[in-house]
Amino acid sequence: MRKLLLLMLVSSTALAGEPSADRQNALRNMLKHDCGACHGLTLKGGLGPALLPEALAGKSDDFLADAILNGRKGTAMPPWQQFINRDEALWLIKVLRNPEH
């Protein structure tokens, strides 16, 4: 049983990580155009709040990933889980927190 759990843990860790270079380009494009449509093309805010590092500073990665994947009830923020997975959402959050990434 322990070997099975260890194998599952190692396998899931190996599958997680940064998206491929092509997927990173697609995610950056989504961030610029799809997210930018509401959050502003420079991400300084618009219909949605700013997505600049200082605006995200007090929010946990889990909170932000949940907002991306499941949307925000009572707001115009739609769920994106049919387009990106949790690892990709976390990668986008890392990019938003450090734009030079």
Domain boundaries, the chain: 22-97
Please say if the pLDDT value at position 2 is more than 90: no
In CATH terms, 22-97 corresponds, of 1.10.760.10, 2.30.30.60, 3.40.50.2300, 3.40.630.40, to 1.10.760.10
Residue 39, H or E segment: helix 36-39
> Binning pLDDT at 50, 70 and 90, where does residue 12 land?
very low
Q: In the prediction, which pLDDT does 101 show?
A: 62
Q: Report the distance separating Cα 51 and Cα 69, nearest Å.
A: 16
Give tens-digit pLDDT for 25-45: 999 999 999 999 999 999 999
Q: In the prediction, which pLDDT does 16 show?
A: 60
Q: In the prediction, which pLDDT does 5 show?
A: 39
Give tens-digit pLDDT for 75-89: 999 999 999 999 999
